[in-house]
Amino acid sequence: MGGSGKEFVREITPQGEDFSRWYTDVIRKADLADYAPVRGCIVFKPDGYALWEKVQEGLDRRFKATGHRNAYFPLFIPESLLKKEAEHVEGFNPELPWVTEAGGEKLEERLAVRPTSETIIGEMYHRWIQTYRDLPVLLNQWANVVRWEKKTKPFLRTTEFLWQEGHTAHRTEAEAREEVRRMLDVYRDFVETDLAIPVIPGRKTDTEKFAGAVETYSVEALMKDGLALQAGTSHFLGRNFARVFDIQFLDEDNQRKLVWTTSWGMSTRVIGATIMVHGDDRGLALPPKVAPTQVVIVPIAPQKEREAVLARARELHSALRGNLRVVLDDREEYTPGWKYNEWEMRGVPLRVELGPRDLKQNQVVLARRDSGEKQAVPQATLAARITELLADIQADMFQRAKEFMAGHTAAAGSLGQLEEIIATRRGFVRAGWCGEAGCEAAVKERTGATIRNIPFEQPDDPGPCVHCGGKAVHQVYFARAY
Ligand SMILES: [Zn+2]
């Protein structure tokens, strides 16, 4: 029993040794995904897909609560449609796969496999929107998209990935801008509340914004290796797509006007973020709200007491499963110690241990995945105690992630300082920026760090630009990023 735990840990590279290998080891060992026989693509295995389903549930509920409905548009986009917005097609061009042949014939017009759907949706909004009474249009699509990436990594960057993309059309600029910020806040709320990952909301610089957008907003998170990750984006598209696709409406004043549009997206990347923010050398650690299994019951049964212990374990399992995602691990071929290690590695937040002595005392022992803390709990109050503990675990995981982010956020007054922080301990570096793309590019060139975003919270005096020393217009967050 003692040796099996070590074997488990030995199969996962320690984070401190090689974080990137730790990440892929955990995904393989926890059985979340596998590499597909297609370049840069992965297969979501049931536990990995169950995590995505939890993301979908959490987001979809929030989208509907803010008035959106789901629709579905085609996977293929005719070249003529995609080319209408020049900046947009330019931004995606090297990553676009094309269908040129089908049905045994060369196609008259080649079809792009969608990298995102603004263009085909723009074309449909042109047909659907006639008067101000048709507005706003508030749609979301759950879909797969394809971007031919050079370097891929499970969940973080794959050639085909799953996401949602919201697309809305509005009568006024103010309404569209309000939508952009509302959806960014939906992302912030979901990532912080359900995934227990703190984020920095803010606006992207012009260099980093979405191709075709007037402004892009993002929520940025920090991984345990000190690299930042853009968890979700919300774009104010102005009238760019409305102009190109001629999306007009007849307003109350009898004037024809162009609509204002937005789009916003979150992808399977957030699964990668959840792994990298909470996991440790023992494997995954999942926040209770999204854990596919929240509680595992492990009976500890010497042969002669086996039936009695198992009978009680089954009773507890059926009592709990109504409200919780509970698994009873009654496999005979593994020892309890082996099972503890396996479920810890899979990130299950809470373990219920039940042995002959617990049976006599009408109790169980609860063990937390996040802190390792154990406590005996009377069986009579078990359900209530588990509910409390899962809430505590969720809150504590968020708190620890917040402390990590605060501990890995520093201020830099000079380029030398910024460079040193990025080179030695990474993390977020808050510094002044004059707003010039040249300074942004120079910092990137020298340190590898990009401006993640311009946070909404700003000091009265942002100080000097970290690169040129001129007057800064904002303080920004620099980091190296996934
Ligand atoms: Zn500058």
pLDDT over 60 at 9, yes or no: no
- Between the CA of 177 and the centroid of ligand 1 the distance, in Å, is 28
For the chain, which residues make up each domain, given as ranges? 2-278, 295-404, 410-479
- Between the CA of 432 and the centroid of ligand 1 the distance, in Å, is 8
- Between the CA of 442 and the centroid of ligand 1 the distance, in Å, is 9
159-186: average pLDDT? 98
pLDDT digits (tens, 9 = 90+) for 308-318: 999 999 999 99
- Between the CA of 259 and the centroid of ligand 1 the distance, in Å, is 36
pLDDT band, very low/low/confident/very high, at 39 (cuts 50, 70, 90): confident
pLDDT band, very low/low/confident/very high, at 3 (cuts 50, 70, 90): very low
- Between the CA of 468 and the centroid of ligand 1 the distance, in Å, is 4
Q: What's the mean per-residue pLDDT of the chain?
A: 95
pLDDT band, very low/low/confident/very high, at 446 (cuts 50, 70, 90): very high
Regarding predicted confidence, which is higher, 107 or 4? Answer: 107
Q: To which residue do tokens 């840990």 refer?
A: 9
pLDDT value for 155 = 96
Contacts of 260 (CB under 8 A, 6+ apart): 169, 170, 171, 172, 173, 175, 176, 237, 238, 239, 242
Contacts of 5 (CB under 8 A, 6+ apart): 337, 338, 340, 341
pLDDT value for 92 = 80
pLDDT band, very low/low/confident/very high, at 95 (cuts 50, 70, 90): confident
CA nearest 231: which of 273, 193, 203? 273
Q: Angle at which helices 306-320 and 382-407 pack, to 10 degrees?
A: 70
- Between the CA of 210 and the centroid of ligand 1 the distance, in Å, is 23
> Does 3.40.50.800 match the CATH number of domain 295-404?
yes
For residue 192, give Cα distances in angstroms to 40, 195, 219, 480: 29, 6, 10, 21
Report the C-alpha gap between 459 and 337 in whole angstroms.
53
- Between the CA of 440 and the centroid of ligand 1 the distance, in Å, is 7
pLDDT value for 2 = 41
pLDDT over 50 at 184, yes or no: yes
pLDDT over 80 at 5, yes or no: no
pLDDT value for 10 = 63
pLDDT digits (tens, 9 = 90+) for 399-434: 999 999 999 999 999 999 999 999 999 999 999 999
Report the DSSP beta bridge partners of residue 42: 35
- Between the CA of 434 and the centroid of ligand 1 the distance, in Å, is 4
- Domain spanning 2-278: CATH superfamily: Bira Bifunctional Protein; Domain 2 (3.30.930.10)
pLDDT value for 6 = 53
The CATH classification number of 410-479 equals 3.30.110.30
pLDDT band, very low/low/confident/very high, at 90 (cuts 50, 70, 90): confident
pLDDT over 60 at 248, yes or no: yes
Report the C-alpha gap between 230 and 273 in whole angstroms.
9
